[in-house]
Amino acid sequence: MTYKETITKEEIDALPLLEYPDGEIRVVDTILGAQKACAELSAATLLGFDTETRPSFQKGISYKIALMQLSMGNVCYLFRLNILGIPKCLAQVLANDKITKVGLSLRDDFHQIMKRDKIALNGFVDLQKIVPQFGIQELSLKKIYAIVFGKKISKAQQLTNWEAPVLTDKQQMYAAIDAWACVDLYKKLEQ
């Protein structure tokens, strides 16, 4: 199947807003919580993947990756890396090539992960490398999702503080949707 090559901002604005499907969002900010989450994630064969970094509005100042999202579809785990670092169990999930991890613009994410910790990253699929096979020329998650599913993803929380002591409900929803949408797209394109 081929899709539209491109989509305009106006076309996206006219689309219905994507809502997070029935499922759980679990914030992981303790080692014990990470171990429990990783035990579940290790049993999965397909995960949606994304990261968030606190934005810097000053030249020369940058921050390390603060959040890593891994979605199993019905559950999305939000790992607070600014609190935990990258726990050994999470590094093992990221290195496991038997688990397909789907994301977007992975080179940037990998670069940010390596700034935090030098770990092995295996089993990753970048949607930006897949969508051209379907005629899609867009590279952003928002535009790709709009073309494939006819729904818009809100990016209102993108530039919020991902190192805040507590993530707001809106931040959690935004983060979970980004990881979940990657799995949703991958499944649809692989049909």
**b/e code 100-127 from CB counts within 10 Å (16+ = b):** bbbbbebeebbebbeebeeeebebbbbb
The pLDDT-based confidence of 165 (bands split at 50, 70, 90) is very high
Structure tokens at 71: 């979605």
Instruction: Report the range of poorest mean pLDDT among 61-65, 141-145, 166-170.
Output: 61-65
Indicate if the pLDDT at residue 173 is higher than 90: yes
Across the chain, mean pLDDT equals: 93
Residue 167 has, within 13 A of its CA and on its CB side, a CA count of: 31
- Secondary structure, 3-state, 125-172: EEHHHHHHHHCCCCCCHHHHHHHHHCCECCCCCCCCCCCCCCCCHHHH
Instruction: Kindly report, residue by residue over 72-109, the tens digit of the pLDDT.
Output: 988 999 999 999 999 999 999 999 999 999 999 999 99
Instruction: Kindly report, residue by residue over 114-139, the tens digit of the pLDDT.
Output: 999 999 999 999 999 999 999 999 99
- Is residue 38 within 8 A of residue 6, CB to CB? The reply is no
The C-alpha atoms of residue 184 and residue 146 are separated, in whole angstroms, by 12
Average pLDDT over residues 166-186: 95
pTM exceeding the 0.85 threshold for the entire prediction: yes
Structure tokens at 120: 């092995």
Angle, CA of 37, 189 and 134, to the nearest 5°: 140
